[in-house]
């Protein structure tokens, strides 16, 4: 970009913290003992819909993959089990390469907003405990959807969509950005399949992001 966007709408897992794969494996641990073919379906869905909140995923898994009712009590139990598996691991995981430097370089040059499928309070806790709160103007987690969060940030700040940018590692945030006319950058680690349509710009880490966004 010739100059930095006025605001960058950032996913969290897989963009700031290198936590996407451990969260993916968390679903496998929750469903340990289920048939391998079913676990493969769980993994495939999770990797394509990384930005969707865990309760929505568990409802889909229970009904569409395992053929169970997926009642609220079961979904809450599964979500609690999942949180117990991944929470401490997320606190301890490393940054996506270049992410910490990018936050330092971008601070004060554009607004930074985190929009995540992680539950709101859990997202706030993790960001606070990682010492990252001061970097961000807004933190938005589940149950707010990515599209609703993006639209609200544009509206409340009177941003022109084309003057902002969004970055994420899943189709969830890409589709939200595309629907609203927000320029999008995908994060695709080396060796990972690219979930984005042809022509969508991608980077394998955040090391080159300052230059991509025109941050000097």
Q: Over the stretch 46-63, which tens digit does the pLDDT of each residue have? A: 988 888 899 999 999 999
CA-based torsion, 205, 151, 24, 89: positive or negative: positive
Whether residues 204 and 123 share a domain: the answer is yes
d(CA 146, CA 140): 9
Does pLDDT of 2 surpass 80? no
What is the per-residue pLDDT for 3? 82
Whether residues 101 and 86 share a domain: the answer is no
Cβ neighbours for 89, distance < 8 A, ≥ 6 positions apart: 19, 22, 26
2 located within any domain: no
Per the structure, the count of domains in the chain is: 2
Whether residues 11 and 54 share a domain: the answer is no
- Bond from prior residue into 41 cis (ω within 30 degrees of 0): no
Domain assignment of residue 189, given as a range: 7-17+95-212
What is the per-residue pLDDT for 205? 96
What is the per-residue pLDDT for 182? 97
Per-residue pLDDT tens over the stretch 134-172? 999 999 999 999 999 999 999 999 999 999 999 999 999
Does pLDDT of 22 surpass 80? yes
Average pLDDT over the chain reads 95
């Amino acid at each position: 970009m010739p100059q930095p966007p006025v605001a960058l709408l950032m996913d969290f897992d897989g963009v700031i913290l290198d936590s996407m794969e451990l969260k993916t494996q968390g679903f496998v641990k929750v469903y340990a003992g289920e048939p391998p073919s079913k676990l493969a379906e769980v993994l495939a869905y999770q990797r394509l819909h990384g930005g969707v909140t865990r309760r929505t995923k568990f409802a889909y898994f229970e009904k569409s993959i395992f053929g169970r009712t997926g009642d609220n009590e079961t979904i809450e139990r599964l979500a609690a089990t999942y949180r117990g598996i991944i929470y401490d691991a997320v606190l301890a995981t490393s940054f996506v390469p270049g992410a910490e430097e990018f936050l330092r370089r971008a601070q004060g040059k554009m607004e930074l907003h985190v929009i995540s499928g992680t539950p709101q309070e859990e997202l706030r806790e993790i960001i606070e405990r990682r010492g990252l709160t001061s970097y961000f103007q807004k933190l938005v987690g589940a149950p707010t959807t990515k599209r609703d969060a993006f639209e609200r940030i544009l509206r409340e700040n009177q941003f022109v969509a084309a003057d902002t940018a969004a970055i994420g590692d899943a189709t969830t945030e890409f589709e939200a950005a595309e629907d609203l006319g927000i320029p999008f950058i995908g994060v695709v680690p080396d060796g990972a399949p690219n979930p984005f349509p042809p022509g969508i710009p991608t980077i394998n880490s955040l090391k080159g992001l300052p230059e991509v966004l025109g941050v000097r």
